[in-house]
Amino acid sequence: MSAAVTKNDLPTPSAVSLIAEMAARAAGAQPVTINTEGLGPGLPPNVPGFWDPAQQRLVSVHDEIERYRQAPKAIRGTAKVETLESVTELVNRHKTANSAIFAATGWPNPKLTAVIDYHAVDHAPDFQKHRVEYGFPLTEEFKAWVGGNGKSMEQQAFAEFLEEHAAELAAPFDSERTEYEPLFKERFALPNELIELSHSLEVFVGAKMKSAVRLQSGERQMVFETEHMNGKGEPIDIPGIFMIQLPPFVDGDVVRIPARIRYRAGQGAVTWFYQLYRWEYWLRTRVQNDLLEAGKGTGLPTFEGAPES
């Protein structure tokens, strides 16, 4: 049985008129094709649309067509990777003849950016919307050394820092001795000497410094007063410079940075600190080398700087 139709189910006269008007307007709209020849590069030969005579305007069909697209017409977005090796592998997967790699090499935000859809060599522009980005994530060890650079530490804290980071201490190369010992007029310390120094400083935690003299070898000799030794104390040889070796970036190659040992004495108390020598220069050099490695691994041109935004 069919359901009975009541008067309330029928459209009102005003609704009927509106529907009729919409139908008439729709029927009046005419498909048009716009020729884009001579309007510049990057356009298709023709652009479709509808001319609405009622409103005297052109209606775009772009959004309606895009609703039915089953795959993106272009890759857009930035892939962020955690290692330099991943940069090479991902760029090689997507690169074109026009791809290029850029690197911001300075601290505090070194970054490598590969632009897959970069402009062509013949000046034909591209969108630059498909990118691979490597932000040079720092290792915890490097953060610790840079974070403590130039900061005063109590004697026990300094001793504990040297022990905790013993794995990053390195023996100097002969070329480094030749360059830095005359420059600083100090003697390089070997890793075992720094560990012995940390142990000696722990012994004299809380003791007053009696005297400090500079020796001909370039190191300093510090004497502490101790009650259990009748005030005589024991001399401690303090080297002036040491070398650290560590990877600044996760899964990256190492850098070698010289550091100077410094202390301040006041009313018998001593505070310690170290100064990393030109560490930003060594970090930038590492980024530059990684940029070259990315270029070799991908066969793409490399540039120091940033692509157009």
**Residue 24: Cβ-neighbour burial (10 angstroms; 0-12, 13-18, 19+):** exposed
Distance of alpha carbon 155 from its chain centroid, rounded?
Answer: 34
Structure tokens at 174: 């002969």
* Lowest mean pLDDT, pick from 22-31, 88-97, 126-135: 22-31
**What digits encode the pLDDT tens for the residues 40-77?**
877 888 888 878 887 888 888 788 778 888 888 888 99
Q: Write a three-state SS string for 20-57.
A: HHHHHHHHHCEEEEEECCCCCCCCCCEEEEEEECCCCE
User: What integer pLDDT is reported at residue 134 of this predicted model?
Assistant: 97
Closest CA to 126 of 103, 144, 99: 99
Residue at token pair 């930035």: 78
Sequence length of the chain is 309
Beta bridge pairs of residue 258: 243
**What digits encode the pLDDT tens for the residues 221-278?**
656 555 433 334 566 777 889 999 999 999 999 999 999 998 877 665 678 899 999 9
Residue at token pair 């005579």: 53
Residue at token pair 């090689």: 92
Average pLDDT estimate for 132-137: 97
Distance from C-alpha of 20 to C-alpha of 3, rounded to nearest angstrom: 26
Residues 196 and 167 sit within 8 Å (Cβ to Cβ): no
Structure tokens at 252: 């990256």
User: What integer pLDDT is reported at residue 231 of this predicted model?
Assistant: 37
Distance from C-alpha of 77 to C-alpha of 87, rounded to nearest angstrom: 15
Residues 77 and 284 sit within 8 Å (Cβ to Cβ): no
Structure tokens at 295: 């270029």
| DSSP string for 98-110 | T-EEEEE-STT--
172 HSE (CA, 13 A, CB side): 21
Mean residue pLDDT of the chain comes to 83
Confidence at 1, pLDDT banded by 50, 70, 90: very low
Q: Which residue has the higher pLDDT, 60 or 98?
A: 98
Q: Which residue has the higher pLDDT, 244 or 7?
A: 244
User: What integer pLDDT is reported at residue 229 of this predicted model?
Assistant: 36
| DSSP string for 200-241 | HHHHTTTPEEEEEEE-TTS-EEEEEE-GGGTT---EEEE-SE
* Lowest mean pLDDT, pick from 106-110, 149-153, 223-227: 223-227
- Per-position b or e across 32-49, b if 16+ CB within 10 A of its CB: eeeeeeeeeeeeeeebeb
292 HSE (CA, 13 A, CB side): 6
Q: With 90 as the cut, is the pLDDT of residue 110 above it?
A: yes
User: What integer pLDDT is reported at residue 5 of this predicted model?
Assistant: 46
Structure tokens at 72: 């993106």
Average pLDDT estimate for 12-40: 67
User: What integer pLDDT is reported at residue 117 of this predicted model?
Assistant: 95
136: left (phi over 0), alpha (psi -120 to 50) or beta: left
**What digits encode the pLDDT tens for the residues 168-223?**
999 999 999 999 999 998 889 999 988 888 777 765 555 555 545 555 555 556 56
pTM exceeds 0.75 for this model: no
Distance from C-alpha of 197 to C-alpha of 99, rounded to nearest angstrom: 53
Q: With 70 as the cut, is the pLDDT of residue 111 above it?
A: yes
**What digits encode the pLDDT tens for the residues 112-123?**
999 999 999 888
